[in-house]
């Protein structure tokens, strides 16, 4: 929570500054897109050898962004549709050798109401298929709208030089749970420590190490990233177990110990105790006995990034309620591709967990900006973050209590913050438009 003390004089000064800033620059159109926008599903896959040398197991994790589906009300009053996933396995000539149909019913008691957060339905299925060179594609269809999209599963990464093949699964460690990053085989930008599972279904290696480097390019911002390297741990399990909540269970008796050993590699793992990444592209290199066998790109994505961060001009306008003018100028003076990185640097002093690269305070602040933008807009001010209620919400978060009372035949909203021992009173000056008229401490 931002417990920044403001009094009525300072608050009025902030409003005047924001009005002046808004007058100097035309209001920018804000895109509400995030990683899940317009997608019917996001996927992650992990391929293992299964039971014998002739079969493979595809662990398929999927997330369905419910907002992108057409939900129809049924006779019981519920809202529902069906997501159909058709998984096709083809050989190198494009001939379909195997396929599986998965149907997942989406059903809600109420229609989707959230304006600023994506609602997901997660699922998991394992598919056993012949151990041949296969291209896997997944066609996802919303049964109600008939909208479809095709996603390539990329179940194996193949190095162009060595032809080595590996399957990767990115995990976030939340407490005692290993949660798969269901982000089209990308790594999640989040405050949680990370694990990377590796499986080599076609090869055996005995002394694995790794290196992760930042992929510098003209498109990517210039960030400081210290190269990560270390040993790859071999797990004493032959395959992974998925729990009812779709997390991955790694600690269990190996099949080898149980007397069911077969000629398959044990699964390997890279542990990253802190989160050193910012969103962007990196390169993962795998070595066996110090000889490079894999060099493949990995993408770090911020799936639930506040949409306000998509527009730096809007960000700076909203940030004027909290950051000072010098800090805003630092961000504005950076070149376009590096402005987000500079913004991140400015916020570091507020970071409650500097040991990782995820700033919870920054995330919370711009989540509030998103909420205010969407929920406090008026006919005269489309940007709800610039309204009186929006500004109070951004600086203080959700009030403990909201009361509606009539004073002098005018509707008043009274926001009480028990933790701050403060009370804000807004007066309705016209339908839907509220003006801050009193602050009590």
Q: Given this model, what pLDDT does residue 19 score? A: 36
Confidence band for 6, pLDDT divided at 50, 70 and 90:
very low
Alpha-helix runs per DSSP H in 260-359: 312-319, 325-333, 339-347
pLDDT at 40 over 60: yes
Q: Which of 3.30.420, 3.30.2010, 1.10.3470, 2.60.40 would CATH assign to domain 156-300?
A: 2.60.40
* Mean pLDDT across the chain: 86
The residue assigned the tokens 């709208």 is 145
Residue with the larger pLDDT of the pair 147 and 382: 147
Confidence band for 252, pLDDT divided at 50, 70 and 90:
low
Query: Looking at residues 245-254, what average pLDDT do you find?
Result: 77
pLDDT at 262 over 80: no
Confidence band for 266, pLDDT divided at 50, 70 and 90:
confident
Topology, domain 35-46+65-154: Immunoglobulin-like (2.60.40)
Query: Looking at residues 405-428, what average pLDDT do you find?
Result: 93
Confidence band for 370, pLDDT divided at 50, 70 and 90:
very high
Q: Given this model, what pLDDT does residue 16 score? A: 34
Q: Given this model, what pLDDT does residue 104 score? A: 97
- Kindly report, residue by residue over 229-248, the tens digit of the pLDDT: 999 998 888 789 999 999 99
Domain residue limits, the chain: 8-33+305-440, 35-46+65-154, 156-300
Nearest to 170 by CA among 36, 38, 301: 301
Q: Which of the residue ranges 3-12, 18-27, 296-305 has the most confident prediction, judged by mean pLDDT?
A: 296-305
Distance CA 252, CA 237 (A): 7
- Kindly report, residue by residue over 138-162, the tens digit of the pLDDT: 999 999 999 999 988 888 888 888 9
How many CB atoms within 10 Å of residue 58? 22
Q: Cβ contacts of residue 317 below 8 Å, gap of 6+?
A: 18, 21, 22, 25, 28, 385, 386
- 349: which 2 tokens? 């002093």
Q: Given this model, what pLDDT does residue 114 score? A: 54
pLDDT at 70 over 90: yes
- Kindly report, residue by residue over 313-368, the tens digit of the pLDDT: 899 988 988 999 999 999 999 988 899 899 999 999 999 888 888 999 999 999 99
- Are 44 and 169 in contact, with CB atoms under 8 Å apart? yes
Per-residue CA distances from 397 to 129, 201, 368, 385, 400 (Å)? 51, 50, 7, 12, 9
Confidence band for 439, pLDDT divided at 50, 70 and 90:
very high
pLDDT at 22 over 50: no
* Burial of 28 (C-beta count, 10 Å sphere; 0-12/13-18/19+): middle
Per-residue CA distances from 141 to 82, 178, 374 (Å)? 8, 29, 29
Query: Looking at residues 155-171, what average pLDDT do you find?
Result: 91
Confidence band for 51, pLDDT divided at 50, 70 and 90:
confident
Q: Given this model, what pLDDT does residue 5 score? A: 39
Q: Given this model, what pLDDT does residue 360 score? A: 93
DSSP letters for 187-251: EE-SSSEEEEEEE-TT---SSEEEEEEE---SSS-------EEEEPEEPS-SS-EE-TTS-EE--
Q: What is the DSSP letter of 309?
A: G
Q: Given this model, what pLDDT does residue 85 score? A: 97
Q: Given this model, what pLDDT does residue 23 score? A: 37
Query: Looking at residues 251-255, what average pLDDT do you find?
Result: 53
The residue assigned the tokens 């940007």 is 383
Q: Given this model, what pLDDT does residue 52 score? A: 66
- Kindly report, residue by residue over 184-194, the tens digit of the pLDDT: 999 999 999 99
Q: Which of the residue ranges 31-35, 166-170, 356-360 has the most confident prediction, judged by mean pLDDT?
A: 166-170
Q: Given this model, what pLDDT does residue 109 score? A: 81
Query: Looking at residues 368-388, what average pLDDT do you find?
Result: 90
pLDDT at 25 over 50: no
Query: Looking at residues 280-303, what average pLDDT do you find?
Result: 94
Q: Given this model, what pLDDT does residue 15 score? A: 37
Query: Looking at residues 289-304, what average pLDDT do you find?
Result: 94
Query: Looking at residues 48-59, what average pLDDT do you find?
Result: 84
Confidence band for 8, pLDDT divided at 50, 70 and 90:
very low
């Amino acid at each position: 929570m931002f417990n920044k003390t403001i009094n009525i004089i300072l608050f009025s000064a902030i409003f005047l500054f924001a009005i002046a800033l808004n007058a100097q620059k035309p209001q920018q159109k804000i895109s509400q897109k995030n990683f899940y926008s317009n997608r019917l599903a996001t996927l992650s896959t992990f391929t293992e050898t299964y039971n014998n040398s002739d079969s493979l197991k595809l662990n398929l994790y999927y997330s369905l962004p419910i907002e992108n589906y057409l939900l129809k009300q049924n006779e019981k009053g519920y809202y529902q549709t069906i997501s159909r996933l058709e998984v096709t396995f083809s050989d190198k000539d494009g001939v379909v050798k195997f396929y599986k149909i998965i149907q997942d019913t989406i059903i809600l008691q109420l229609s989707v109401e959230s304006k600023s957060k994506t609602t997901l339905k997660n699922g998991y299925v394992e598919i056993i298929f012949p151990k041949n060179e296969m291209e896997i594609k997944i066609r996802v269809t919303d049964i109600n709208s008939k909208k479809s999209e095709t996603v390539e599963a990329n179940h194996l990464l193949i190095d162009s030089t060595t032809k080595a093949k590996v399957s990767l699964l990115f995990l976030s460690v939340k407490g005692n749970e290993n949660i798969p990053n269901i982000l089209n085989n990308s790594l999640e930008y989040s405050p949680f420590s990370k694990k990377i599972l590796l499986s080599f279904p076609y090869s055996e290696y005995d002394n694995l190490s790794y290196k992760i480097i930042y992929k510098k390019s003209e498109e990517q911002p210039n960030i400081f990233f210290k190269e990560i390297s270390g040993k790859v741990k071999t797990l004493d399990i032959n395959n992974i177990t998925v729990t009812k909540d779709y997390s991955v269970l790694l600690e269990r008796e190996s099949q080898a110990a149980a007397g069911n050993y077969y000629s398959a590699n044990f699964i390997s793992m890279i542990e990253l105790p802190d989160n050193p990444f910012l969103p962007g592209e990196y390169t993962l290199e795998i070595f066996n006995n110090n000889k490079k066998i894999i060099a493949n790109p990995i993408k770090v994505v911020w799936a639930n990034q506040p949409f306000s961060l998509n527009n730096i001009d809007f960000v700076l306008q909203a940030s004027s309620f909290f950051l000072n003018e010098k800090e805003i100028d630092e961000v504005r003076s950076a070149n376009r591709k590096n402005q987000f990185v500079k913004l991140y640097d400015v916020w570091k002093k507020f970071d409650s967990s500097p040991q990782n690269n995820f700033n919870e305070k920054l995330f919370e602040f711009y989540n509030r900006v998103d909420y205010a933008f969407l929920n406090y807009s008026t006919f005269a001010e489309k940007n709800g973050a610039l309204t009186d209620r929006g500004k109070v919400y951004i600086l203080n978060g959700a009030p403990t209590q909201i009361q509606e009372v009539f004073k002098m035949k005018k509707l008043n909203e009274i926001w009480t913050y028990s933790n701050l021992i403060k009370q804000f009173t807004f007066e309705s000056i016209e339908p839907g438009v509220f003006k801050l008229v009193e602050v009590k401490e």
